[in-house]
Amino acid sequence: MARRRQLYEGKAKILFEGPEPGTLVQYFKDDATAFNAQKRGTITGKGVLNNRISEYLMQRLGEIGIPTHFIRRLNMREQLVREVEIIPLEVVVRNVAAGSLATRLGIQEGTRLPRSIIEYYYKNDALQDPMVSEEHITAFGWASTHDLDDIVQLTLRVNDFLSGLFLGVGITLVDFKLEFGRLWENDEMRIVLADEISPDNCRLWDAKTGEKMDKDRFRRDLGKVEEGYQEVARRLGILPEAGIRDLKGPEVMQ
Ligand SMILES: Nc1ncnc2c1ncn2[C@@H]1O[C@H](COP(=O)(O)OP(=O)(O)O)[C@@H](O)[C@H]1O
Ligand SMILES: [Mg+2]
């Protein structure tokens, strides 16, 4: 196959020009970074698993009417997506205190929050993705109040749906990060879910034991990093070894 033109290489993925105008190919790498790329490493097989996990979650979200950039998976490491104008925000949802929230506010990690909390970070590596408020976002024109209304509505639906989906396979969705983009169709603009949803940007804990199955295993040198990602895919019933045409549904926990 003819090699595609590379448009961007990020920390976890490479973007190539897609086969049709308005499409992109996302290639999932095994590279892992943490703490704003101060820590770097490789998680063998991560790209394959994240490609598959993100495909699965975006498809399930599409089925409940969440607009996403996902078109189809092309192979083990690549998926075809609609090109969008990325809104430069990391939209974080938290259900249980962990990571920077636990540290900054002195809340014991693992404490269930009184309600789901949405936080925004300005997507800017040079500034180390600083936390921002709605005021900053609208004043600097990164998104309008109308865009933010859509983003909040979509984010809460994604959170409710994914919390239930993961709980059904014995996993607590502690927190996660989403990215959104603008998609124009004729003269209409829609906000759609973009980027990826995977153990790279979710905190996923075993619902019974609290064992971590996400990038914190890499961030905190907990070992068995590959196994954590694999276990998430296994519980969702989508380990690539099962074969594309032989996909099982989620394994329901007793
Ligand atoms: N549908 C899309 N259209 C355009 N850009 C996208 C789309 N989905 C994701 N992106 C962007 O592609 C990049 C994905 O590569 P990644 O390695 O995650 O980069 P980064 O290091 O910037 O996080 C991100 O910058 C993300 O915002
Ligand atoms: Mg990224």
Interval 70-89 mean pLDDT = 98
Q: Which ligand is nearest to the CA of 177?
A: 2
Q: Is the pLDDT of residue 164 over 60?
A: yes
Give residue 197's region: left, alpha or beta (phi > 0; psi -120 to 50). beta
CATH number at residue 143: 3.30.470.20
Q: Is residue 219 part of a domain?
A: no
pLDDT of residue 246: 41
Q: Do 178 and 120 reside in the same domain of the chain?
A: yes
pLDDT of residue 2: 61
Pocket of ligand 1 (CB under 6 A): 10-13, 15, 24, 69, 81-84, 86, 179, 181, 194-195
- CA-nearest of 46, 53, 52 to 226 is 46
Q: Do 122 and 13 reside in the same domain of the chain?
A: no
Q: Do 190 and 241 reside in the same domain of the chain?
A: no
Q: Is the pLDDT of residue 13 over 90?
A: yes
Q: Tell which one of 78, 85, 86, 89 to mutate to probe ligand 1, the residue whose CB is within 8 A of the most ligand atoms.
A: 86
Give residue 247's pLDDT band: very low, low, confident or very high (50, 70, 90).
very low
pLDDT of residue 3: 72
Interval 84-111 mean pLDDT = 98
- Counting from 1 in the atom list of ligand 1, the atom nearest the Cα of 82 is 1
- Counting from 1 in the atom list of ligand 1, the atom nearest the Cα of 83 is 3
Q: Do 164 and 94 reside in the same domain of the chain?
A: yes
Q: How many domains does the chain have?
A: 2
* Residue of minimum CA distance from atom 9 in ligand 1: 195
Interval 216-239 mean pLDDT = 97
Q: Tell which one of 11, 13, 36, 50 to mutate to probe ligand 1, the residue whose CB is within 8 A of the most ligand atoms.
A: 13
Look up the pTM and report it: 0.94
Q: Is residue 110 part of a domain?
A: yes
Give residue 245's pLDDT band: very low, low, confident or very high (50, 70, 90).
very low
Distance (Å) from CA 114 to ligand 1 centroid: 32
Q: Is the pLDDT of residue 56 over 90?
A: yes
Q: Is residue 18 part of a domain?
A: yes
Q: Which ligand is nearest to the CA of 47?
A: 1
Q: Do 158 and 200 reside in the same domain of the chain?
A: yes
Supply the range of the domain harboring residue 159: 85-206
* Residue of minimum CA distance from atom 26 in ligand 1: 195
pLDDT of residue 193: 99
Q: Is residue 212 part of a domain?
A: no
